[in-house]
């Protein structure tokens, strides 16, 4: 009866699923879920009544997206080349990424493995193409944590960058974890730990590593276990060295900026998931330096910058930016020394940059 409308609605739903950055799983509306169920039912029905008799859907995870709508999908512990179902190709107008590394999918494995459904994403790492204004490029999806890596020295520890990445991670619904590398270059560990303590007191996990001495690598491994992680941070901080130390035979994708300009967007955005031998995945993406903040995030920063959320709740104005307002608990805390001025300045720099 309502088949035609159902079909239309289903298509629309998919447009939504493939384009919108979905937030927390808790925020999914019943609408989305019922549409999913409907899709599922439809596919089963199709299997029952169409010429295609033996439709068999299996859940898998996209490890890598290749050209020509092909994906490497992990299904039942095996890697399989799958092709994207036809209807997904039709909705490719707001985003370049129909599917992304990290997506959970349902695959029809009855004959040629075909991706029939993309399960709503828990989060996405995406950036926006400069060429085609506002075209979203999803770098990866369904990530648990970002390892914010900064070196103690060479290059100099950059807490401002750590602050930025923490904000970006929170906005993207990804847990931030701080890794301070090259601790072999410090006079003493106490010296470094005093820097990290600001974040540790706020409940962030901070790990101190050296790929030269091997210190902290075991602890980091424990934190990576059974989680899907992406490494982020300044070039030269030691990300590749750390990953190589953990998984020695790994060949990372290291497309540089120049390569990006030469070959265009496609090569740099192709990420992949690499399984650790102790469980969990490394999200290997050459474009990860672009993981950042957008202008649209400006209003959120005053509430999520490290250490400000509790203070912000007590400011006189609900939308206090903690920069010039009266009765601002943040400005007060900076004044009496209970909030470090260096972090406050870092906060103001981020606000200004947006
Ligand atoms: N002293 C010291 N040097 C390191 C350490 N980790 C990496 N390096 C060096 O730092 C440089 C940059 O490392 P790399 O892994 O390429 O950084 P990436 O750009 O973040 O991937 C290389 O010359 C590494 O040998 C460390 O723990 N201690
Ligand atoms: Mg590197
Ligand atoms: Zn305030």
Q: Which CATH number goes with the domain that contains 38?
A: 2.40.50.140
Does residue 128 fall inside a structural domain?
no
Count of alpha carbons within 13 Å of 39, Cβ hemisphere only?
23
| Residue 220 and residue 185 in one domain | yes
- Tell me the pLDDT of the chain averaged across its residues: 81
Mutate to test the pocket of ligand 1, among 179, 241, 242 (most ligand atoms within 8 A of CB): 241
| Residue 322 and residue 284 in one domain | no
Residues of the chain with pLDDT > 90, as a percent, come to: 58
- Of the candidates 269, 290, 311, which is a domain's last residue? 290
Does residue 151 fall inside a structural domain?
yes
| Residue 154 and residue 286 in one domain | yes
Backbone angles phi, psi at 145, to 5 degrees: -150, 155
Global pTM reads 0.80
| Residue 230 and residue 113 in one domain | no
- Of the candidates 122, 157, 183, which is a domain's last residue? 122
Does residue 130 fall inside a structural domain?
no
- Domains in the chain, number: 3
- Whose CA is closest to 273, among 18, 21, 115, 65? 65
- Which residue would you say has higher pLDDT here, 346 or 37? 346
Contacts (Cβ under 8 Å, ≥6 apart) of 273: 61, 62, 63, 64, 101, 102, 140, 228, 281, 282, 283, 284
- Which residue would you say has higher pLDDT here, 231 or 135? 231
Strand (E) or helix (H) holding 232: strand 228-233
Query: Atom 26, ligand 1: which residue's CA is nearest?
Result: 182
> d(Cα 278, Cα 218) in Å, to the nearest integer?
12
> d(Cα 314, Cα 184) in Å, to the nearest integer?
42
> d(Cα 353, Cα 242) in Å, to the nearest integer?
30
Does residue 237 fall inside a structural domain?
yes
| Residue 81 and residue 187 in one domain | no
Does residue 127 fall inside a structural domain?
no
Full domain range(s) for residue 252: 143-290
pLDDT range class, residue 92, cuts 50, 70, 90: low
- Give mean pLDDT, residues 233-259: 78
Go through the chain and tell me how many residues it has.
354
Torsion on CA atoms 24, 28, 32, 34, rounded to nearest 10:
130
Does residue 55 fall inside a structural domain?
yes
pLDDT tens readout for residues 197-234: 999 999 999 999 999 999 999 999 999 999 999 999 88
Does residue 281 fall inside a structural domain?
yes
- Cα(162) to ligand 1 centroid in Å equals 18
pLDDT tens readout for residues 30-75: 334 444 445 544 544 443 333 455 678 999 999 999 888 899 999 9
CATH of the domain at 344: 1.10.40.50
How many helical (H) and strand (E) elements, i.e. helices and strands, does the chain have? 13, 13
Ligand 1 atom closest to Cα of 254?
21
- Give mean pLDDT, residues 292-309: 91
Q: Measured between alpha carbons, how far is residue 228 from residues 10, 188, 208, 290, 299 in Å?
A: 30, 32, 20, 19, 29
| Residue 178 and residue 244 in one domain | yes
> d(Cα 283, Cα 271) in Å, to the nearest integer?
7
- Cα(194) to ligand 3 centroid in Å equals 27
- Cα(287) to ligand 2 centroid in Å equals 11
Is the pLDDT at 27 greater than 60? The verdict is no
pLDDT for the residue 47 = 37
């Amino acid at each position: 009866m309502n088949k035609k409308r159902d079909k239309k609605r289903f298509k629309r739903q998919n447009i939504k699923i493939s384009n919108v950055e979905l937030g927390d799983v808790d925020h999914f509306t019943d609408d989305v879920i019922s549409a999913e169920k409907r899709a599922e039912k439809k596919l089963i029905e199709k299997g029952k009544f169409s010429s295609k008799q033996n439709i068999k859907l299996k859940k898998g995870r996209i490890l890598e997206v290749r050209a020509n709508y092909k994906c490497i999908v992990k299904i039942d512990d095996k890697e399989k080349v799958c092709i994207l179902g036809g209807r997904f190709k039709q909705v490719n107008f707001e985003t370049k990424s129909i599917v992304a590394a990290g997506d959970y999918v349902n695959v029809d494995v009855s004959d040629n493995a075909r991706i029939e459904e993309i399960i709503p994403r828990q989060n996405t790492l995406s950036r926006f193409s400069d060429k085609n204004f506002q075209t979203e490029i999803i770098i990866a999806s369904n990530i648990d944590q970002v390892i914010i890596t900064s070196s103690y020295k060479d290059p100099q520890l950059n807490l401002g960058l750590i602050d930025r990445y923490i904000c970006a991670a929170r906005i993207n619904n990804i847990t931030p974890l701080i890794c301070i590398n090259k601790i072999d270059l410090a006079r003493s560990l106490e010296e470094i730990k005093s820097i990290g303590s600001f974040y540790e007191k706020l409940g962030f996990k901070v790990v101190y590593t050296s790929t030269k001495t091997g210190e902290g690598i075991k602890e980091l491994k424990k934190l990576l276990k059974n989680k899907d992680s992406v490494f982020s941070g300044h070039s030269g901080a030691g990300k590749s060295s750390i990953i190589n130390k953990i998984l020695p035979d790994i060949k990372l994708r290291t497309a540089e900026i120049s390569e990006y300009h030469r070959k265009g967007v496609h090569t740099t955005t192709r990420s992949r998931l690499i399984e650790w031998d102790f469980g969990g995945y490394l999200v290997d993406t050459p474009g990860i330096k672009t993981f950042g903040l957008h202008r649209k995030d400006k209003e959120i920063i005053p509430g999520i910058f490290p250490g400000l959320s509790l203070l912000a709740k007590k400011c006189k104005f609900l939308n206090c930016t903690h920069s010039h307002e009266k009765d601002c608990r943040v400005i007060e805390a900076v004044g009496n020394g209970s909030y470090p001025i260096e972090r406050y300045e870092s906060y103001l720099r981020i606000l200004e940059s947006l």
